Structure 1
Amino acid sequence: MDVDLDLGDPADALRARLRELLTELLPDDWAGPFSDDPEVRRVVRSVLDRLADERLLTIDWPVEYGGAAASVWESTVLREEMWAHLEPRGPQYMGLSWVGPTLMAFGTEAQKRTHLPPIAAGRRIWCQGFSEPEAGSDLGSLSLPATADDDGWVINGQKIWTSYAPIADWCFLAARTSHDVRSKNRGVTIFLLPMDRAGISVRPIASMMGEQHLNEVFFDEVRASRADVLGEVDEGWQVIKYVLNHERVGIPRYARDERLLAELAETTRDADPASRADFARALVHARTARLLNHRAIALREQGGLTDRAASGARIASIQLDQEVAGLVLDILGPAGLRPGTDGLLSHAEDVYRYARSATIASGTIEIQRMLVARSLMQEAKQ
């Protein structure tokens, strides 16, 4: 299919407005939101409040849920600019990008009234309870049991690698409510649980990614009721598929990488021929990743998004993320290890560490390649 690279005047105007706002609100030494520093939290709060005031925070949501009913391309511009500026919305992006839309698709009216307004205001942080010690990219293998009794369910077990768990208000939890011999994907149920519910505890995992990113979450005799269930009992895999569909094309890593390359361009003029060739190659890969992502977004808008298109776009993006992060440090040398106030390159070392997880988070690159291969095989059979 053809994709028009001219996103239109409204999208261009939005991009200009967002850059104006972020220039005003972000400090010169802005290194990202994932910190417990009170000043960092103040900046995040100021960005969220301003975006919410202008109905930019949930720009593509329906008006009745606090949005502006903007086009999918305006939503794409919003995500691109947020990512290019080190995601100043902080952990809120999770609720905004996929928890909210998933609630609209599967939630009860009571769940929508409870959760959508605070998400639209940037006042509710979510964490995602998917991965377990023995179930990561293969989510069908998750085993955290939710055992039914007369009053609902009792949940016991552990989730791992749960980002933002120490500061989250709610958990989007996948648990096993039954075992179906026909398919391991059946028998999974999604629960919406407040993180202060009795029996839930969090233990941070120290890592090179820094604060907030990796945590263990433990469930000890945690009670859940029918009102906590999102969608149908035992049919949570349909919800998970919807979430992953949004995740795979909802994180525009290429936008940050393009900004890094733009800032690196002047430095590259004095680099050796091999480094200049690497820069040119990375620039081509960045344009390719953007095109593949825009194609996947267009397909989703038309209801024709395939695993091949979604995972192909994701593979290009996550490989680009690591390629650009490594290239920046190679060209900058020791200067790239010193934080500063001069643009995104001042945080090259932090970007490099964060990019190490790109090929693991939200489904490993091996899983994405498997999805592409499976899609091609199915097409060949038709």
Structure 2
Amino acid sequence: MDFEMGREAADLRHELRDLVKTHVPEDFLGAFTDDPADLAVAQKFCQLLAERGLLCMSWPEQFGGRGSSVWEQTVVREEMWAHHEPRGAQYMGVNWVGPTLMRHGTAEQQRKHLPRIARGEVIWCQGFSEPEAGSDLASLRTAATHDGDGWRINGQKIWTSYATMAQWCFLLARTTKWDKNTTKKQAGLTIFLVPMDDPAITVRPIGCMMGPHHLNEVFIDDLRVTEADILGTLDDGWSIVADVLSFERLGIARYARCERLLHMAPEQLGEHWPDLPPELRGRWTRMLTHCRRARLLAYRLVSLQSEGRVTPTDVAAYRIAVTKLDQDSAEVLMEIAAEAPEEGTALFRSEVEDHWRYSQASTVSSGSIEMQRILLSRSLLAAR
């Protein structure tokens, strides 16, 4: 199947690969390792992309973008994830914070936040999940109480990626008490844009096998906010959450890293490749086919999203396919890497191990695969 997007996209892909080769160390495995130098590399590279107008290509010029096509932005998304995301945490601002602010933010909020994201100067985190509200997010207990001309927020968030380094948080809180007899629990929720350096916010890191910064607890004690900090309409935050999750779940091109590593395998094993068990090489071929399937699903959703026609069901189907690809390809690659000769393959084996560690969380982060299957099943049953 031909996935080419045209000459401009091909030139952009070559440009991005040259930039990665020139400015990112060969052994770079992401910004969030135990080595602070890796984060410094990502921050510097992100600034370089911004200076060249490559960070937020598809954003309108008025918000700091170039007004490029969604397909050019897709190329950026693919090349960055394929090479261990050298933008660091900036993909959150680029992929979903910015687009959500464009859709729901006030003119003042857009002026305040969008240029800084486009310049790669600010990191955001997402204050959604709680200890007793993960997959059932609408059950959250963090509450905002009206207080004079503003609000006071109290509660706890968990699994909050990048909270130790973020300057701003996209925070979901309950602003109207839920009455199960009269309303759905998704009602009465509101999004607040809050600064992470407020003394009312405390962050505690949670150790995990992916490295530092990925998981944190966030405690909020009498955080004072104003009406100007509300994104969208009071009590209608759930509609914004739906947009966020749509942008977020499509925003990471997981298939691109899978495909790159799978293509590297025969080259790395060289003359040892034919000695692999036929069953293992057969699974390797199957994974390449699944990469194409995931890419095709992604492109379909990019097209639908650009027309404003993407649905949660569409995104759920893609999410199931791409996270399963992540895990299944990681298992195959780990078996192949175990057969690779030690000499000359150390970096390949490190990349495969890193891919495997990240894949373990892929079916849980940004909405568990079980919840995506339930959403998809309900939609299919309703359509019968």
Q: Which residue of 1 aligns with 2:357?
A: 353
Stretch deviating more after TM superposition (158-167 or 48-57): 48-57
1:377–1:36 CA distance, 2 compared to 1 (3 A): same
Counterpart CA distance in 2 for 1:4 and 1:232 is 43
Say if 1:293 and 1:314, in contact at 8 Å, map to a contact too: no
2:27 partner letter? D
Matched ranges for 1:151-170 at <5 A: 151-170=149-168
Counterpart CA distance in 1 for 2:333 and 2:363 is 18
- For residue 249 of structure 1, give the secondary structure of its aligned residue in structure 2: helix
1:51–1:220 CA distance, 2 compared to 1 (3 A): same
Q: Which residue of 2 aligns with 1:86?
A: 84
Q: Which residue of 1 aligns with 2:72?
A: 74
Unpaired segments ≥5 residues, structure 2: none
- Kindly, what percent of the aligned residue pairs are identical? 51
Say if 1:286 and 1:320, in contact at 8 Å, map to a contact too: yes
Q: Which residue of 2 aligns with 1:33?
A: 31
- How far the C-alpha of 1:328 sits from its partner, in A, is 1.1
1:191–1:310 CA distance, 2 compared to 1 (3 A): same
1:292 aligns with 2:290: no
Q: Which residue of 2 aligns with 1:133?
A: 131
- For residue 375 of structure 1, give the secondary structure of its aligned residue in structure 2: helix
- 1:241-260 deviation digits (Å, cap 9, x = unpaired): 11011112111100000001
- How far the C-alpha of 1:339 sits from its partner, in A, is 12
1:296–1:333 CA distance, 2 compared to 1 (3 A): same
- 1:197-239 deviation digits (Å, cap 9, x = unpaired): 1210000011112110000000011111111111111010111
Say if 1:163 and 1:213, in contact at 8 Å, map to a contact too: yes
- How far the C-alpha of 1:334 sits from its partner, in A, is 7.5
Matched ranges for 1:303-342 at <5 A: 303-333=308-338
TM-score, length-normalised on structure 2?
0.94
- For residue 356 of structure 1, give the secondary structure of its aligned residue in structure 2: helix
Say if 1:137 and 1:362, in contact at 8 Å, map to a contact too: no
Q: Which residue of 2 aligns with 1:279?
A: 284
Unpaired segments ≥5 residues, structure 1: none
Q: Which residue of 2 aligns with 1:201?
A: 202
Aligned length: 377
1:75 partner letter? Q
- For residue 318 of structure 2, give the secondary structure of its aligned residue in structure 1: helix
- How far the C-alpha of 1:372 sits from its partner, in A, is 1.1
- 1:19-77 deviation digits (Å, cap 9, x = unpaired): 11111111111111113633213311221121111110010100011100111111111
Counterpart CA distance in 2 for 1:294 and 1:344 is 28
2:286 partner letter? R
TM-score, length-normalised on structure 1?
0.94
- For residue 269 of structure 1, give the secondary structure of its aligned residue in structure 2: helix
Counterpart CA distance in 2 for 1:63 and 1:245 is 23
Q: Which residue of 2 aligns with 1:222?
A: 223
Counterpart CA distance in 1 for 2:280 and 2:2 is 32
Match of 1:367 among 349, 368, 371: 371
1:89–1:340 CA distance, 2 compared to 1 (3 A): farther
Q: Which residue of 1 aligns with 2:259?
A: 258
1:377 aligns with 2:378: no
Say if 1:29 and 1:341, in contact at 8 Å, map to a contact too: no
- How far the C-alpha of 1:346 sits from its partner, in A, is 3.0
Counterpart CA distance in 2 for 1:201 and 1:236 is 24
Counterpart CA distance in 1 for 2:339 and 2:214 is 26
- How far the C-alpha of 1:304 sits from its partner, in A, is 2.2
Counterpart CA distance in 2 for 1:340 and 1:108 is 54
Matched ranges for 1:42-53 at <5 A: 42-53=40-51
Say if 2:290 and 2:325, in contact at 8 Å, map to a contact too: yes
1:275 partner letter? L
Counterpart CA distance in 2 for 1:49 and 1:303 is 30
Say if 1:318 and 1:359, in contact at 8 Å, map to a contact too: yes
1:237 partner letter? W
Match of 1:15 among 3, 8, 13: 13
Q: Which residue of 1 aligns with 2:109?
A: 111
Stretch deviating more after TM superposition (369-378 or 237-246): 369-378
Counterpart CA distance in 2 for 1:279 and 1:341 is 18
1:269–1:32 CA distance, 2 compared to 1 (3 A): farther
Say if 1:173 and 1:192, in contact at 8 Å, map to a contact too: yes
Say if 1:263 and 1:345, in contact at 8 Å, map to a contact too: no
- For residue 275 of structure 2, give the secondary structure of its aligned residue in structure 1: coil
Counterpart CA distance in 2 for 1:4 and 1:351 is 26
Counterpart CA distance in 2 for 1:29 and 1:126 is 26
